[in-house]
A and B are shown apart, each in its own frame.
Chain A
Amino acid sequence: MVRFILRRLLETIPVLFVIATLTFFGVRLAPGGPFSAEKNVTPEIRRNLEAHYGLNKPLYRQYFDYMGSLLHGDLGPSFKYSNRTVNELIAESFPVSLELGVYALLIALIIGIAAGVAASMRPNSASDYLASSFSMAGICLPTFVLGPLLILLFALRLHFFSAQGWFDPRDRILPAITLGAGYAAYVARLARGGMLDVLSRDFIRTARAKGASETRILFRHALKAGLLPVVSFLGPAAAGLLTGSFVVETIFQAPGLGRFFVTAALNRDYTMVLGTVLFYATLIILFNLVVDIVLVCLDPRLKFE
């Protein structure tokens, strides 16, 4: 297992290297630059700005400089937010996205698994249709509709919560529900499918024949295998949830990392784009690794190879 993890971690390095290289050159191919604005700067100022950020050097030189500082974990200064570094911006905003993501993930798992398992117990019954319709609605209702709807009801009508901001603990609730709802729906569908598949297997029939109770069959025998699809989905889903959502963070003005993914690209904040992309890529790789380990532990057919 240790060898497996080490090998996977070593494989990460070339992947991140390729991502960094592609992003570095990709973002510079985009028309416009970090210093273009409605009011144009004079050519002298532009030259001075470029000199300050090292953009006057040949591209390959900039690339090697960047890769050099990347090796030391330095993601460089933000071009847009001139008194902050990319490391600082990520360090400040990631905990917000992480917190929001954890709540959303919990909501997704608790509601999703409960609904999915309940639906699979009596397939094609009223309760199944109810759970399935709810999850369908959750998938179809985008966050930019659900978020404002929740605000309208719970903040503007009932005054339970603030309409925006990330200041006291109550401010976490609406964004977490908004972000978690769609994932809960996916989880419910995956759990239902997985459980239905498992419940029709021979070993379940054997268990039933041996006289095991339905509760025991469900929790002791079926659940572990039935939730495998949910676990595989969790890797990318967790990375996505934990690194933040642009839409939800914008609606609720949560100061998370998700907003930087989009604004950094729009601002042509080269270092910030690279920083967020690399950070996200690292997280996805790590989560996939964790998921693979969990899958091997859950599924006896798999081995660390």
Chain B
Amino acid sequence: MIRAAAIFVGCALLAGCGVRQTQVAKADKEQILLIGNGTEPQDLDPQVVTGIPEDNILRALFEGLVSEDPHDLHPIPGTAESWDISPDGKVYTFRLREAKWTNGDAVTADDFVQSYKRILSPALASEYNYMLFPVKNAEAFSKGDIKDFGKVGFRALDDRTLQVTLENPTPYFLSLLNHYSWFAVPVRSIVKFGRLDERGTRWTRPGNMVSNGPFRLKTWKTNSIIVVEKNPYYWDKDRVRLNAIKFFPIDNSSSEERAFRSGQLHVTATVPLPKIDIYKKKPEIFRNDTYLGTYFYRINVTKPFLKQKELRQALSLAIDRESIVTNITRAGEKPATCFTPPGTAGYYAKPVLRTDIPAAKALLAKAGYPDGKGLPPIEILYNNDEGHRVIAEALQEMWHKNLGVDVQLNNQEWKVYLDSQLQLAYQICRAGWIGDYVDPNSFLDMWLTGGGNNETGWSNAEYDRLIAEAGRTTDPAARLGVFGKAESILLDEMPILPIYFYTSKYLLSPSVKGWFPTILNQHPYKFVYLQE
């Protein structure tokens, strides 16, 4: 009996040692990219979804007016082969190429106009419709103030000419077009499955879905896999070298890391925190690219004692950001010296954030709390997550040690935390912000008085005026200068405590080529290929 068992185990071990080809090796030969894609997408309607996993898939399925350069994502011709910009910077005229949908129909200028009508229609309730608000009357139409879509700045001059009229000259307009909210959707197919402006119809199912990008939808199994295959109707199909992409919605980072290690994935969505130190020693597969996002804390300035600017400034000066990125996050994050990540579309805010304990103590005394005396305990709110907890604990320790301030920690489940933040039912809480597009406006217009994502109760008339002024300024350098002034006000008033700038950390198989570090962590698939 024991001998039989030993023989069985021996055979099994031998079989295991054999050259069982990994799925990655097999996929390399077949030019199939295997991507760990975080979570199950909520939908594949570009005008309904909001997340990054959805974005990763939609970029394979659709193409907007412009496409993006694989190295730095600058706009290059996409469905539009060329465009003109009027001298006042307000009218863009796009010439469309002879592009086709996956059902063989031509992509027309009217498809774009009808798509934009759809995303702006109140019934669809598209959460990203504000991406179109730079367009004349788009916001008014979306709110129902204007009923006639003819008044909105979209015009199909002929089948292949689209004219877009903006409210104000918007220097980052072309890079907005790379966002999926600006993609055209197959309006003639959508109406087969329901009203054009109806959410959640079956048009996005495999077999029903029509798209115009380098790939088309083949398979979609919930929580299991999404397969897209090369689109034979795509205008630039000769450039596309991948035959297919498989997206795996692996929502557990440890499972995903094991899948990568066992050769099931070319790319992961993330790296589990405890594994970062190990992978840092393997630079050939570990990537930590600069990312357009800032990790920060909000301060609720409506709370009586947090109203004092000096107290908020003291708290900021007492944070050792360098120590947080080197000892806690450890994946090459940069300590925040301002709020907008430096270099966003050529914009650099004054790097004013620093650690200065004596200055912090002096400010605290000035606020009326010498050595923290008389200050009630401050509560930090964060959502349940190991990574957020350790940073909150570090702040607790720093403020206690450096300022004598008593800090309590409070963690809440994600949706409860979001609710508390929205209701201003917190004192100080952690937050993160990822830019929607590469422009300082995406980081600065959120702090306008009453802005939907302000959530600090902070308001400053001069700041509001400067952001509005930046929106009207045509000269690019002058515009960045105005943003600089606004951000200086923000960082002096301190309704927020920026901590660090994000990196996107993930594992990438060495066989993936044509994949470059980009600030939005987007990698145009038509330039990607596999080489063993």
Contacts and interface: CB of A to CB of B under 8 A. Distances in A.
Nearest to B250: A253
B127 A41 contact: yes
Given A38-B432, A42-B130, A158-B12, A48 B20 contact: no
Nearest to A46: B125
Given A36-B422, A250-B252, A166 B224 contact: yes
A31 B248 contact: no
A192 to B, nearest CB: 23
Contacts of A263: 251
B223 A93 contact: yes
B453 A255 contact: no
Given A49-B125, A82-B42, A156 B415 contact: no
Contacts of B221: 92, 255
B249 to A, nearest CB: 8
A134 B130 CA distance: 60
Contact of A39 (B45, B252, B254, B453): B453
Contact of A148 (B254, B413, B455): B254
A256 B224 CA distance: 9
Interface in B175-224: 199-202, 204-205, 221-224
B73 interface: no
A282 interface: no
Interface in A11-65: 30-33, 36-45, 48-49, 51-52
B8 interface: no
Contacts of B144: 44
Interface string B220-253: 0111110000000000000000000000101110
A266 interface: yes
Q: What is the size category of the interface that chain A forms with chain B?
A: 35 or more
Interface string A138-170: 000000000010011001111110111111000
Contacts of B261: 156, 163
B199 A82 contact: yes
Contact of A32 (B15, B202, B264, B415): B415
B415 A44 contact: no
Contact of A89 (B130, B222, B248, B250): B222
Given A39-B453, A83-B45, A89-B222, A266 B413 contact: yes
B172 interface: no
A158 B130 contact: no
B42 A80 contact: yes
Most A-side CB within 10 Å, residue of B142, B200, B417? B200
A81 interface: yes
Question: In terms of DSSP, what is the predominant structure of the interface of chain A?
Answer: loop
A205 interface: no
B26 interface: no
B16 A164 contact: no
Interface in B1-53: 12-13, 15-17, 20, 23, 40, 42-45, 48, 50
B396 interface: no
A256 to B, nearest CB: 8
A264 to B, nearest CB: 12
A48 B224 contact: no
A81 B40 contact: yes
B418 A37 contact: yes
Nearest to B126: A45
A255 B413 CA distance: 24
Interface in B413-464: 413-420, 422, 431-432, 452-453, 455
A253 B123 CA distance: 36
A182 B413 CA distance: 29
A33 B123 CA distance: 20
Interface string B387-419: 000000000000000000000000001111111
18 contacts: A32-B414, A38-B431, A39-B127, A45-B125, A45-B127, A52-B199, A83-B44, A151-B262, A155-B258, A156-B258, A160-B16, A164-B250, A164-B255, A165-B248, A165-B264, A250-B255, A253-B223, A268-B415
Given A93-B223, A160-B15, 8 more contacts: A30-B416, A40-B453, A81-B42, A82-B42, A83-B201, A158-B17, A164-B256, A266-B415
Interface of B: 12-13, 15-17, 20, 23, 40, 42-45, 48, 50, 122-127, 129-130, 142-144, 199-202, 204-205, 221-225, 248, 250-252, 254-256, 258-259, 261-262, 264, 413-420, 422, 431-432, 452-453, 455
